[in-house]
C-alpha cells in the first residue's frame, strides 16, 4: 500500500510501513502532553485516586470477579451503570504499577496509547469498508477524526476510558462483520459477536452499532438477506449475552437520581423535548467541527433550554428534515453513498444523546459525540471529494489549517484538564453552569479543609483567598440555580466556619431547612452555626458588657451582627496556637501575620484598622519575640479597638438565653426528624471544647423538664458543675443520676452506679 498526496502539482507519498507509526505519532502529538496530568473530574468513580480508592479496583486483579458482579460505581445515594471492562483495565494497572501517585501518569499514557490504537483500528476498518481504491481517503478521515478537539475530554479524563474502549471494540466488530460478508468464515461472525459484547461491557454507547453495522452492509456491500440476517443475529446475540450477564451477575440495579441542575428537560414531556432535540443535534455538529468553547459539564446555565419552538429552531429542524431527504434520495439513486452514509452514521450514533428519547445527565456532552463524530469526518471528506479543484489544491491547505487550529485548542484543553482545580477554574470563567461553579467551590473547599490545620501547607493569605473564591463560586452557582440546596449548605459552611459570619450562615440555613425539611446535613449545620454564635457571644462577654470600652468612633452594629469580627478574632486566637506550636520565631510570625492579612481581605473592620491589622499583628509578635514586651494577649487589644458597642448586662443575659433557646429548639427538631442522629453528642462536644458548661447545664435541664431526660443528662449536668467548681450542685446531679439508674435492671447500669459513686467520693475528698 502506497499513499499518494497531491499538493499543488506535486505528489507526496507514504509507504505502508509508515502509516501506523504516523497515526501513533499524530495521536501523541495532540495528547502526549497529557501524560503529566493528574486526576480530574469523576476519576474516583472508576479508579484509585489521591483522595479515594475504588473498593474493587484497589484489590487489583483479585478484585476482577467482583467487578463483573457490581455496578461500575456507587455511593450512598445511587448506583451507576454496568461497565466492568473499564474497571478491569484499572484493576490490572493497580496490580502492575502499584500506588496511584506514579500510577496516574501511567494511566494517562495508556489513555493516549488507546487513542492511538483506536486510530490504527479505525484506519484498518475504513480500508476494509471503502476498498483498495480509497486508502488515502481512509487515512485522511482517520487523521481528521484524531484531530477533533471535542475528543479532548475523552482522552484527558480517565473516567471516560469507557468511551475509548467502547468505540475501539465497536470498530473491531464492524471490521469483523465486513470480513464475514467477504469471506463467509464463521470465526469472523464469532468475532463480531465477541467484539460487540466487549464494547457493551465497556459502555452502552455501543448500542447503536446494533443498527449501524447492518446498515453499513446495506450501503457498501451487495445486498444479501442471508448475510444481513447472520450479522444481525450475532449482534443480537452479543446484546442478549450482555443483558444476561448484567441480570445474572450484578447484585444491585441501576439507581440514579436526576435533577434540574443536570438538565431542566427532566421535567419536560416528550413533545416539549423536541425543540431541545433539534438544538442538541446542531450543537453536536458545531462542537464536533468548529468548537468555540469546550466545557467539562453542560448543565443548567451552560446551554439554552426551551420547551417551545423558536423561528431559529424551526429553521434548523427543516434543515435536518432536508438532510434526511437527501440521505433517502442518495440511497435510492446510489449516488453520494459515502457522504450520505457518514450522515446516517452520525445521526444514529448521536440520536440517543439528544434528549428526545430521554433527557441526558448533562444537557449535552463532549464525550457523547465521540463515536458519532466519525460520521461527520466521513461526510466532510467525501463532500470535499465532490469538488476536484478544492480537493487537489485547497483541501491540503484547509487540512493543515484545521490541524493547527485543533492542535492549539486541544493544547489549551489539555492544560485545563491537568487537575481538578485548573479544570473548574478554566471552565467557570466561560460558563454560567451551576454545576461547574459548584464543582469549583467544592474543590476549593476540599483544599481549604485539607490545609486549614496544616499551617505549613501554603501561604496563609492565599488560603483565605481560596475561601473568598469558594464563596463566590457557590454564589455564582446559586445565581443560576437558587434551589441548589447542597450548595446553599456548603455556602453556609464557608460563611460560618471560615468567615465567621454566623448571621449570613443562619439566614441560608433557616431558609434551607424550611424548603428542604428532610435535609439532615442542613439541620446539623444550622445547629453548629447557632452553637458557634453562642460560643463567640459568651467568649466576648467582658468586652460586650464593659461600658468603659465603648468607642463612639467605631461604627456601632446590632450586637449579634458585630460578632463577625469578634468571631474572626477568636478564630485568629485559636489558629494562632497552631502557628506557634513550635514556638515563637520569625517564620511562625510571618505565617501568622500572613493569615491575619488574609482575614483582613474579607472583613472591613479589620481592613480599615490603622495601622493595618496584619502589620499590627507582626509588630506585636516581634515585640514579644525580641523581649521588648512581656507576654500578653494581643487579641484582647484588638477586641478593645473593635468592639465599639456596649451591651447592658440585663440585655446581654436576655440575648444569651435566646441563643440557648435557639440551640434547644433546633436540637429538638433534629432529634424528632432524625432519631438516629448523634445531635446530643455533637452539641455537648462543641460546648465542652469551648468550656461553655453553663450552656450544657441549661440544655440538659431542658431535656429533663421536657420529659425526655435520661441518667446521662444528670451525669452531664454533674460534670459541668464540677468544671465550674460547684461541687455541691455536682453531687446533687450525680445522685439524681444514680436514682434514675437504679430503676434500670441491667449489669451496665450497676457498673455505671459504681463508677458515679466512686467519682462522688473523689469530689467530697477534694
The CATH number of the domain holding residue 678 is 1.25.40.10
Residues 680 and 721 in one domain: yes
Concatenated DSSP letters of 563-600: HHHHHHHHHHHHHHHHHTTT-S-HHHHHHHHHHHHHHH
Q: How far apart are CA 720 and CA 568, in angstroms?
A: 27
Section 386-402 average pLDDT: 73
- Residue pLDDT, tens place only, 679-688: 989 999 989 9
Section 99-115 average pLDDT: 90
Residue 461 maps to a domain: no
Q: How far apart are CA 155 and CA 168, in angstroms?
A: 13
* 453 pLDDT higher than 80: no
Residues 79 and 154 in one domain: yes
> What percent of the chain clears pLDDT 90, i.e. is strictly above it?
41
DSSP 690: T
Residue 402 maps to a domain: no
Section 304-313 average pLDDT: 77
- Cis amide linkage into residue 511, ω under 30° from 0: no
Residue 497 maps to a domain: no
* 318 pLDDT higher than 90: no
* 716 pLDDT higher than 50: yes
Residues 268 and 136 in one domain: no
For residue 296, the model assigns a pLDDT of: 92
Q: Which residue has the higher pLDDT, 333 or 153?
A: 153
Residues 198 and 297 in one domain: no
The answer to whether 379 and 342 are in contact (CB under 8 A) is yes
Sign of CA dihedral 447, 449, 455, 460: positive
Distances in Å between the Cα of 289 and the Cα atoms of 149, 371, 394, 702 are 8, 14, 18, 68
Section 451-457 average pLDDT: 71
Q: For strands 2-7 and 10-15, give the pairing.
A: antiparallel
Residues 616 and 681 in one domain: no
For residue 150, the model assigns a pLDDT of: 96
For residue 159, the model assigns a pLDDT of: 94
Residue 233 maps to a domain: yes
Which residues, in sequence order, are bridge partners of residue 4?
13
Residues 338 and 244 in one domain: no
- Residue pLDDT, tens place only, 598-611: 888 878 788 888 88
For residue 252, the model assigns a pLDDT of: 55
* 210 pLDDT higher than 90: yes
Residue 370 maps to a domain: yes
* 321 pLDDT higher than 60: yes
For residue 540, the model assigns a pLDDT of: 84
Residues across the chain: 766
Section 151-159 average pLDDT: 96
For residue 555, the model assigns a pLDDT of: 39
Residues 188 and 283 in one domain: no
Helices (H), 386-429: 388-389, 395-416, 420-428
Q: Which residue has the higher pLDDT, 183 or 662?
A: 662
| Cβ-Cβ contacts under 8 Å for 332 (sequence gap 6 or more) | none
Residue 631's Cβ-count burial label (10 Å; 0-12, 13-18, 19+) is: exposed
For residue 71, the model assigns a pLDDT of: 83
Section 413-432 average pLDDT: 94
Average predicted confidence (pLDDT) for the chain: 86
Residues 380 and 342 in one domain: yes
Boundary residue ending a domain (589, 622, 642): 642
* 256 pLDDT higher than 90: no
| Per-residue pLDDT band at 206 (split at 50, 70, 90) | very high
Helix (H/G/I), strand (E/B), else coil: 272: coil
* 523 pLDDT higher than 80: yes
- Residue pLDDT, tens place only, 340-366: 899 999 999 999 998 888 888 889 999
Residue 413 maps to a domain: no
For residue 557, the model assigns a pLDDT of: 39
For residue 393, the model assigns a pLDDT of: 65
The answer to whether 730 and 697 are in contact (CB under 8 A) is no
Determine the structural domain holding residue 287 and report its residue range.
Answer: 264-386
Residue 300 maps to a domain: yes
Closest CA to 464 of 596, 575, 569: 596
Boundary residue ending a domain (611, 642, 673): 642
Number of domains in the chain: 4
Section 379-389 average pLDDT: 77
Distance of CA 487 to the CA centre of its chain: 12
Residues 273 and 241 in one domain: no
- Residue pLDDT, tens place only, 643-677: 767 778 888 888 889 999 999 999 999 999 998 88
* 5 pLDDT higher than 50: yes
* 446 pLDDT higher than 80: yes
Residues 301 and 328 in one domain: yes
Residue 536 maps to a domain: no
Q: Which residue has the higher pLDDT, 493 or 629?
A: 493
Section 445-458 average pLDDT: 78
Q: How far apart are CA 600 and CA 464, in angstroms?
A: 9
- Residue pLDDT, tens place only, 544-603: 887 776 555 443 434 555 688 888 888 888 888 888 877 888 888 888 888 888 888 878
Section 39-43 average pLDDT: 91
Closest CA to 644 of 561, 531, 539: 561
Cα angle 14, 20, 26 (rounded to 5 degrees) comes to 90
* 632 pLDDT higher than 70: no
> What percent of the chain clears pLDDT 70, i.e. is strictly above it?
91
Boundary residue ending a domain (597, 616, 642): 642
For residue 628, the model assigns a pLDDT of: 79
Residues 604 and 678 in one domain: no
Section 102-126 average pLDDT: 94
Residues 54 and 150 in one domain: yes
Amino acid at each position: 500500500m502506497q499513499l499518494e498526496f497531491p499538493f499543488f502539482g506535486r505528489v507526496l507519498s507514504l509507504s505502508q510501513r509508515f502509516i501506523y507509526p504516523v497515526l501513533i505519532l499524530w495521536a501523541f502529538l495532540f495528547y502526549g502532553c497529557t501524560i503529566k496530568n493528574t486526576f480530574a473530574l469523576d476519576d474516583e468513580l472508576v479508579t484509585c485516586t489521591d483522595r479515594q480508592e475504588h473498593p474493587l479496583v484497589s484489590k487489583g486483579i483479585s478484585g476482577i470477579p467482583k467487578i463483573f458482579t457490581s455496578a461500575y460505581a456507587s455511593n450512598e445515594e445511587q448506583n451507576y451503570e454496568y461497565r466492568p471492562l473499564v474497571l478491569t483495565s484499572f484493576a490490572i494497572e493497580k496490580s502492575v504499577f502499584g500506588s496511584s501517585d506514579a500510577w496516574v501518569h501511567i494511566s494517562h499514557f495508556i489513555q493516549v496509547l488507546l487513542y492511538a490504537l483506536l486510530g490504527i483500528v479505525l484506519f484498518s476498518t475504513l480500508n476494509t469498508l471503502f476498498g483498495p481504491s480509497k486508502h488515502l481517503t481512509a487515512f485522511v478521515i482517520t487523521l481528521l477524526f484524531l484531530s477533533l478537539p471535542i475528543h479532548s475530554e475523552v482522552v484527558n479524563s480517565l473516567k471516560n476510558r469507557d468511551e475509548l474502549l467502547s468505540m475501539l471494540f465497536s470498530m473491531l466488530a464492524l471490521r469483523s462483520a465486513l470480513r464475514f460478508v467477504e469471506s463467509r468464515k464463521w470465526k469472523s461472525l464469532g468475532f463480531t459477536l465477541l467484539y460487540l459484547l466487549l464494547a457493551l461491557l465497556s459502555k452502552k454507547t455501543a448500542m447503536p452499532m446494533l443498527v449501524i453495522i447492518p446498515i453499513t452492509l446495506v450501503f457498501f456491500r451487495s445486498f444479501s438477506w442471508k448475510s444481513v440476517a447472520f450479522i444481525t443475529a450475532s449482534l443480537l446475540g452479543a446484546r442478549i449475552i450482555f443483558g444476561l450477564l448484567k441480570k445474572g451477575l450484578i447484585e444491585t440495579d441501576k439507581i440514579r437520581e436526576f435533577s434540574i441542575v443536570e438538565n431542566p428537560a427532566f421535567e419536560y414531556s416528550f413533545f416539549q423535548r423536541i425543540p431541545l432535540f433539534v438544538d442538541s443535534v446542531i450543537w453536536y455538529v458545531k462542537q464536533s467541527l468548529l468548537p468555540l468553547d469546550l466545557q467539562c459539564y453542560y448543565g443548567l446555565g451552560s446551554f439554552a433550554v426551551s420547551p417551545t419552538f423558536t423561528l431559529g429552531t424551526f429553521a434548523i429542524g427543516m434543515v435536518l428534515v432536508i438532510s434526511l431527504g437527501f440521505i433517502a434520495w442518495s440511497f435510492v439513486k446510489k449516488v453520494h453513498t459515502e457522504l450520505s452514509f457518514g450522515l446516517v452514521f452520525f445521526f444514529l450514533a448521536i440520536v440517543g444523546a439528544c434528549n428526545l428519547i430521554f433527557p441526558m445527565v448533562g444537557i449535552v456532552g463532549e464525550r457523547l459525540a465521540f463515536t458519532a463524530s466519525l460520521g461527520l469526518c466521513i461526510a466532510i471528506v467525501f463532500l470535499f471529494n465532490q469538488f476536484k479543484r478544492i480537493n487537489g489544491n485547497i483541501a491540503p491547505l484547509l487540512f493543515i489549517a484545521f490541524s493547527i487550529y485543533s492542535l492549539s485548542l486541544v493544547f489549551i484543553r489539555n492544560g485545563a484538564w491537568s487537575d481538578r482545580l485548573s479544570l473548574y477554574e478554566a471552565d467557570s470563567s466561560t460558563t454560567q453552569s451551576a454545576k461547574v461553579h459548584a464543582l469549583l467551590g467544592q474543590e476549593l473547599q476540599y483544599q481549604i479543609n485539607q490545609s486549614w490545620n496544616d499551617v505549613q501547607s501554603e501561604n496563609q493569605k492565599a488560603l483565605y483567598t481560596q475561601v473568598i473564591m469558594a464563596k463566590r463560586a457557590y454564589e455564582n452557582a446559586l445565581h443560576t440555580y437558587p434551589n441548589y440546596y447542597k450548595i446553599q449548605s456548603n455556602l453556609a459552611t464557608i460563611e460560618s466556619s471560615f468567615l465567621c459570619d454566623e448571621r449570613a450562615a443562619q439566614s441560608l440555613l433557616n431558609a434551607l431547612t424550611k424548603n428542604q425539611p428532610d435535609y439532615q446535613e442542613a439541620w446539623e449545620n444550622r445547629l453548629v452555626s447557632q452553637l458557634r454564635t453562642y460560643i463567640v457571644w459568651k467568649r466576648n462577654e467582658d468586652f460586650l458588657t464593659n461600658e468603659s470600652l465603648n468607642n463612639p468612633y467605631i461604627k456601632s452594629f446590632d450586637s449579634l451582627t458585630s460578632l463577625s469580627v469578634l468571631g474572626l478574632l477568636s478564630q485568629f486566637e485559636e489558629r494562632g496556637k497552631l502557628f506557634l506550636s513550635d514556638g515563637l520565631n520569625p517564620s511562625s510570625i510571618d505565617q501568622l501575620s500572613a493569615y491575619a492579612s488574609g482575614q483582613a481581605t474579607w472583613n472591613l473592620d479589620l481592613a480599615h484598622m490603622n495601622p493595618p491589622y496584619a502589620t499590627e499583628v507582626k509588630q506585636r509578635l516581634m515585640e514579644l519575640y525580641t523581649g521588648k514586651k512581656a507576654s500578653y494577649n494581643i487579641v484582647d487589644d484588638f477586641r478593645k479597638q473593635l468592639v465599639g458597642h456596649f451591651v447592658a448586662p440585663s440585655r446581654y443575659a436576655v440575648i444569651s438565653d435566646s441563643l440557648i433557646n435557639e440551640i434547644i429548639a433546633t436540637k429538638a427538631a433534629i432529634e424528632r426528624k432524625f432519631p438516629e442522629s448523634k445531635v446530643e453528642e455533637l452539641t455537648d462536644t462543641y460546648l465542652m471544647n469551648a468550656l461553655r458548661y453553663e450552656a450544657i447545664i441549661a440544655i440538659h435541664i431542658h431535656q429533663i423538664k421536657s420529659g425526655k431526660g435520661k441518667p446521662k443528662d444528670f451525669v452531664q449536668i454533674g460534670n459541668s458543675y464540677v468544671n465550674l467548681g460547684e461541687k455541691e450542685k455536682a453531687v446533687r446531679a450525680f445522685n439524681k443520676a444514680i436514682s434514675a439508674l437504679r430503676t434500670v435492671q441491667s449489669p451496665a447500669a450497676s457498673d455505671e452506679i459504681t463508677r458515679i459513686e466512686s467519682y462522688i467520693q473523689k469530689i467530697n475528698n477534694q
